[in-house]
Amino acid sequence: ESFAWTEEISIFLLIVLTLSASSSAFVRLLHIRIELLADGGGSARRRRFALAAGTVSLLFFAGLTVLLGRMALDEYNWGDTSPAIGVPTWWYSMWLPVLSTVITLRLAGILRRAWERT
Position 73, amino acid: L
Whole-angstrom CA distances from 102 to 22, 23, 77, 88 are 10, 8, 24, 24
Domain count, the chain: 1
Residue range(s) defining the domain that contains residue 12: 4-116
User: What is the per-residue pLDDT across 37-92, written as a single tens digit (0 to 9) for each?
Assistant: 777 778 888 888 888 888 998 999 999 999 999 999 999 999 989 887 888 989 98
Instruction: Place 1 in a pLDDT band, splitting at 50, 70 and 90.
Output: low
- Rounded to the nearest 10 degrees, how much is the dihedral formed by the CA atoms of 52, 62, 114, 18? -100
Q: Is pLDDT above 60 for 10?
A: yes
User: What is the per-residue pLDDT across 18-34, written as a single tens digit (0 to 9) for each?
Assistant: 988 888 888 887 777 77
Instruction: Place 2 in a pLDDT band, splitting at 50, 70 and 90.
Output: low
